[in-house]
Amino acid sequence: MHDLLIENASIIDGTGRPPFQGGVAVDNGRIVAIGEDVGAGRRRIDAGGLSLMPGIIDNHTHYDAQITWDPHVSPSPALGVTTVVMGNCGFTIAPCRPDDREIIMRNLTHVEGMSLDALRSGIQWEFESFPEYLDFLERRGVGPNTAVFVGHSSIRTWALRGDASRRAATPAEVAQMQALVREAMAVGAVGFSTTTSLQHNGEAGVPMPSRLADAAEMDALAGVLAESDKGTLMITKGLGTPVPRLEALSALSGRPFIVAALLHSNATPEAVFEDLAMIAEARGRGRRLYGAVSPCPLTFEFNFHAPYVFEGLASWLPAMEAHDDARYRALLASAEFRAAVKAEIDRPARRLFNGEWQSMHVLKVRDEANEQLEGKSVAEASARAGRHPVDWLLDLALAEDLDTMFIATLLNSDESALARILTDANALISLSDAGAHLEFFCDAGAGLHLLGHWVRERKLMPIERAVQRLTSETADAFGIPDRGRIAPGCWADLTLFDPAIVGRGAAVRMHDLPSGATRLVTPALGVRAVWVNGEQLVDENGLLPDAPLAGRVLREFNS
């Protein structure tokens, strides 16, 4: 008698094999049999012919803070996700000394799109070291399976304290950081992550600490992974670390390297394809590089209290540095500041925003008198008013006390380019950024979007190929053992869904973060049930009210 039987399913097993009819038997959290007749079970689920796939492995999340107060890391499990990889881009909260908590939280507030109040009242600081962080997660329990990077910004803050975002490290500090990476790898970190992207700033425009690392520091830290011969490197790359430099780091460490964020920009439309071509060449030389790509258009909802969209512009730095509100508003109104912003936007570069005014719309105004502007693009409305878009936009925001909500689809808006990217053999489906940018967007349902939009609506690839990309391909890239496939011996991480309606719904703004802060959340469409290690977490209504903490903290990875 098996613990659990799921019968009458269309099984998409994660290997790329076409769907086949049958059932799955589970004992002690693992799949023990697959086929037409798998015996008897204490619990029997009739799948009614719906599709059963391995649970989605979301390899780019930022739940490091949220998981301390919300171990189920909503909304990911309801969106079919059974394993999350956290600590991407080097943004972690361990190691962290009590005295440095404020620095770490201030750094996270912009990049995570989460208010400082939410972080202050939410994070359960029951750890200092990385090993203690993993032990805490394990002791307390986790909803989905959880793998954690050791993050560059945290270890740099540990070693350099208040100077972490100011200067290069001394050889002694680099040695200290190496020791921290070594310690984290020894207790089961999934790898080492970092960022060199100009878009990654802490509060008041302070660069994330890893952006201050020089080549010697990067070499030394990547080199630690060579010692253990396990773990994955991950970076969100900026201009200073092009693909050939990352290939060199991969060679030096002998480890796989996840290269983010390969998003398509209409301003530099060939850039992402050049990156993928360089990654293909590196692979030809035996380097395991993966281009991290997203199936979602990158849409930001924002206001000028926190205009992340503009924060990758060098000319915006004075605005981020303006500590008090009056100075900030005076700057937004000043002709000199605006002139610098206009001049920079006129020079397209590899960055988030390049003056795509036709893709930026007024979402919600504060004043009734402005209601006719809702839904209008900034390009159209500013042209009608005879103003430069920068002037028009900032004038409107200032007139409404910065409360006007805008929405901008800045990257990944070209569907034909995206179709090429998503079918590229060197690409890894990634970049949901679940747990981050919470005020601006929610792509935690990126996997469902691939299945609904790209497979069912656009017929870009067979469903078995999409499932393979979301499951076994990711498991193999990160060396996650016994997950990402429906096969005897694998853990029973399973998602049951209706392929006729699967997808994600429109984003809803919720006020459910600690201290009442807001975030955007998308509901799942067509997900009927999700099991983690054989235990059910989700039904057709979403996360079960008494959902078990069935996940495991993953500490063992294949080399």
The least CB distance from residue 90 to Zn ion, in Å, is 9
Q: Please identify, using beta-carbon distances, which residue of 5 and 410 lies nearer to Zn ion.
A: 410
Beta strand residue intervals within 269-333, DSSP E:
289-293, 298-302
392-424 CB burial, b ≥16 within 10 A, e <16: bbbbbbeebebebbbbbbbbbbeeebbebbbeb
Choice between 89 and 362, CB closer to Zn ion:
89
Q: Whose Cβ is closer to Zn ion: residue 22's or residue 87's? A: 87
Q: Which residues contact 171 (CB under 8 A, 6 or more apart)?
A: none
State how far the Cα of 59 lies from the Cα of 410, in Å rounded to an integer: 23
| Contacts to Zn ion by CB under 5 A | 88-89
User: Residue 537 and residue 362: Cα distance in Å, rounded?
Assistant: 38
Nearer to Zn ion, 302 or 392 (CB): 302
| Between 88 and 115, CB nearer to Zn ion | 88
Other beta carbons within 10 Å of 497: 26
Looking only at the bridges linking them, the beta strands covering 289-293 and 427-429 are parallel
Nearer to Zn ion, 263 or 455 (CB): 263
Two tokens, residue 394: 């900032």
Cβ 449 to Zn ion shortest distance, Å: 18
Q: How far is the CB of 294 from Zn ion (least distance, A)?
A: 11
SS3 24: strand
CB of 431 to Zn ion, least distance (A): 7
Peptide bond into 318 cis (omega under 30): no
Q: How far is the CB of 60 from Zn ion (least distance, A)?
A: 6
- In the 3-class helix/strand/coil scheme, how is 403-431 assigned residue by residue? CCEEEEEEECCCHHHHHHHHCCCCEEECC
Residue closer to Zn ion by CB (options 88, 250) is: 88
User: Are residues 349 and 268 in contact, defined by beta-carbon separation less than 8 angstroms?
Assistant: yes
Alpha-helical regions (H) of 202-270: 215-228, 243-253
Structure tokens given for 200: 């990654």
E runs forming strands in 328-386: 360-364
315 secondary structure, DSSP code? G
Shortest distance, position 527 Cβ to Zn ion, whole Å: 24
Residue 324 is classified by DSSP as: S
Residue 539 beta carbon to Zn ion: minimum distance, rounded to whole angstroms = 30
- Closest contact distance (angstroms) between CB of 234 and Zn ion is 9
> 261 or 496, CB closer to Zn ion?
261
